[in-house]
Amino acid sequence: MCGRYTIAAGAEFIGPYFDIEGPLPEFHPSYNVTPGSDAPVIWQAPADGRACSLMHWGLIPHWAKEPSSKYKMINAKAETLAERPAYRSAYKHRRCLIPTSGFYEWHSEAHGKQPYFIRMKQAPLFAFAGLWEYWEGEHTINSFTIITTPANELVGKIHERMPAIMLAENYNTWLDPNFGDESVLQELLQPVDSALLQMYAVSTAVNNPINDSADLIKPL
DNA sequence: CCAGACGTTGTT
DNA sequence: GTCTGG
DNA sequence: CCAGACGTTGTT
DNA sequence: GTCTGG
């Protein structure tokens, strides 16, 4: 799955990389983005260009009675997006990209859990595939979830699943709210080739959400 | 019909 | 054990 | 994902 | 909102 990631770039890098023409939100680079925090999301309205907004990590379905309820979904299985009531409409109309520079997975070992950091070899910045949703209350809350796929060969050494990585050549198709060919969308969500990734063990300092520095991604 | 759930992961 | 907060 | 709390009363 | 279970 994907329960922690990094975004070691400021808005000044995100804008150009994702071809955002409009305004960019303020956010700080982070080596420890945790569920429940606000993070930048790239999305596209039906008759508009790409936009970047901060959203809440943990999708709140629009029918949730309270935004603080138990319905905060941080991950969504790629294989069942079209069936799940909580995701079906977002899958059709509100697909998004989550800018990232890498993610963490934990491996259960004899002595405890060992965190690993996984990044793209050739891309300091890339994107997870995700879905976003809005919740109408006193204030509107926008939230997102990260889609997961079965792990590829590399990540499979330590974990069963991993986040869906969207390749840059497919950004347009994935973000287009008018695109509806589900078999193509499922193709775009296939596990990324192991050859594109690099993985190594890191300190358990990442475990505590309070820690946030470049030291977190130093190889052990 | 109304009431209640709506999710993933890992572990057992 | 289970929920909440980060 | 992991870490940390999880409770009430009366008193300061 | 929509589906499932009673």
> Would you kindly state where each structural domain of chain A is located, as residue ranges?
1-15+29-125+143-157+183-188+196-207
Residue pLDDT, tens place only, A46-103:
888 999 999 999 999 999 988 887 888 999 999 999 999 999 999 999 999 999 999 9
Q: Is A52 a catalytic residue?
A: no
ipTM reported for the complex surpasses 0.85: yes
> Is domain A1-15+29-125+143-157+183-188+196-207 given the CATH code 3.90.1680.10 in the classification?
yes
Q: Is A26 a catalytic residue?
A: no
A1 touches strand D (CB under 7 A): yes
Burial A25-50 (b: 16+ CB within 10 A, else e): eebebbbbbbbeebbbbbbbeeeeeb
**Residue A212 CB coordination number (10 Å):** 18
Sign of CA dihedral A158, A164, A16, A29: negative
Closest CA to A187 of A78, A41, A75: A78
